[in-house]
Structure 1
Amino acid sequence: MSANTLEEAVALTKKFTSKPSNEELLKLYGLYKQATEGDNNTERPGGFDFVAAAKYNSWSNFSGKSKSEAAEEYIALVNNIAAKYS
């Protein structure tokens, strides 16, 4: 199984039978947000909301990357890890 579009890649992740690592999940999140919304212009979460801060940082890591580049990387990552988690 492999995905050719962002929508197919998202659908493929929903078929995973086990959960990817936190590092992989954060990379998927950051690439998805960059592919669908572009650069992160939101305010960084403060306090002790570590999950929100990690997501913010992951998305920000892809700042400057075009939506199409981020989508291609997201698809490639999903296709790369699909065998491990499907």
Structure 2
Amino acid sequence: MSTVEPPKAFEDVVLFHLPDVTDPGAFTSHTPLGSLGLDSMGMIALMASLENAFDFTFPEEDVTTAAFYSADSLWSVVSRLIRHDG
């Protein structure tokens, strides 16, 4: 996983797309996002929100269920893409 801690803006974007999170304080970065209500349509919406918030584009090969498994796995991909694009 990424060694750089994700910014609060990342967590805010992810939480916005998790309909089953009623207590954001109980959210953990390793909880499977699917268990928190993220479905395939939500995954696409989350991807678009992250692209807008962090000014990058997800390459097709990074749009996988493994990448969107948890906030940790997603931040690993996003942080790599931000470094690459930046």
**Same fold per superposition (TM over 0.5):** no
> TM-score range with shorter-chain normalisation?
0.3 to 0.5
When Rg is computed on C-alpha atoms for both structures, the one with the higher figure is 1
Q: Tell which has more relative contact order, 1 or 2 (C-alpha 8 A, sep 6+).
A: 1
TM-score (norm 2): 0.34
TM-score (norm 1): 0.34
